[in-house]
Amino acid sequence: MDIILFILGAIVVISIHELGHFLMLKLCGFNVEEISIGIGPKLILFKHKDTKYSLRLIPIGGYVASPELDANYEIMGQSIRIFNFKKMLCYLAGPFFSLVLAIILIFASGNILGLRVEKIYNQQLLEQGIEKDYRLRSINGNRVFRISDIEILLNSDKVNILTFSKNNNDRLYVEYYADNSDYTPTIKDVYFYEQTFKEKFLAVRYTIRDLIKIVIESIGELITGKTSVIEDISNPYSNYIFKKNMNFTYNFNVFLVITAVFSWGVSFFNLLPIIGFDGFRCIYTLIPIIINRKLTLIERVIICCISILFSIWVIF
């Protein structure tokens, strides 16, 4: 099941990423010879007008081929700066579309993923309707993402407001008093309310903030050598296998959120100045914009060498 999920998620993420490049190329008036999803042998190939569309065997990566993006392309009828600015927009469009996809998927999921309740030990919680499969969403208005957050967010000297959810649209508010002397909670009031559009929007904002933390932590681990780009983006579903005892809605929302994380990662890591990544191509086109001339062969070699050294340092 993991393999199927990975392939499906990868195809969606790669397709949207390459669609961004494709649409910007068309918008800039550039020619598109081929758009490919995946790498390796062709599984599907057809041609529409002057563009070939292909789906390849290995769902990792993809490309959009355009003669205008070739480094040796002769610029005709426009300045070097304008031409390279258009090229840079084409390179940035892919990561931008990946970012937009991540936000859309987070919003579509309803951001329901909190700490899932497996078993209730406290009788008062049971009496107030908290049962298995409820998810603890927040404590005193602060989102809960990890078990360690509970200890950090709970106040022992005042009433805590715990927010639970079960069916995506409903929230269950519980007033909870954490008495550290005997660890006996007191439930004072419970009520439901319908999730509003504003709350869904805020949920997306909080999740994006958490994704930013993930990216920052990933960059820190890349620098310290604790992980690699390959490990970070190769299989984001490894710890989120579908469970047979979970309902379809829960599993589908898990898939949406993890695919969003994958798309977010593709957007961010593609902007790194690594050869083959959009970040490297942006630098390669930004320099001619600044100096207002084409790069010489020596300058190209120097840029490539610096990028290769950076790539080796980051990836491995």
The residue ranking higher by pLDDT, 209 or 57, is: 57
CB 162 within 8 A of CB 136: yes
pTM of the model: 0.66
pLDDT higher at 265 or 305 = 305
User: At residue 180, does pLDDT exceed 60?
Assistant: no
Averaged pLDDT, 232-258? 53
Answer whether residue 286 shows pLDDT above 60.
yes
Can you spell out the DSSP letters for 158-183?
S-EEEEEESSSSEEEEEEEE--TTT-
pLDDT in tens, 70-114: 877 888 778 899 999 999 999 999 999 999 998 888 777 655 445
pLDDT tens profile 12-69 = 999 999 999 999 999 999 999 999 998 889 999 999 888 999 999 888 889 999 999 8
> Using 50, 70 and 90 to split pLDDT, how confident is the model at 229?
very low
pLDDT higher than 60, residue 223: no
| Measured distance CA(67)–CA(87) in Å, rounded | 11
Q: Cα 57 from chain centroid?
A: 23
More confident site: 4 or 300: 300
Average pLDDT over residues 111-125: 51
Q: Residue 275: its pLDDT value, please? A: 86
Cα 282 from Cα 99, distance rounded (Å): 17
Q: How confident is the model at residue 279 (pLDDT cuts 50, 70, 90)?
A: very high
Where do the structural domains in the chain lie, given as residue ranges? 115-196
Residue 308 φ/ψ, nearest 5 degrees: -65, -45
Which of 213, 216, 233 minimizes the C-alpha distance to 274? 233
> Rounded mean pLDDT of 138-166?
68
* Helix, strand or coil, per DSSP, at residue 273: coil
The listed range with the strongest mean pLDDT (157-161, 200-204, 219-223) is 157-161
Instruction: Provide the pLDDT for residue 218.
Output: 55
Average of per-residue pLDDT across 186-191: 41
pLDDT confidence of residue 125: 56
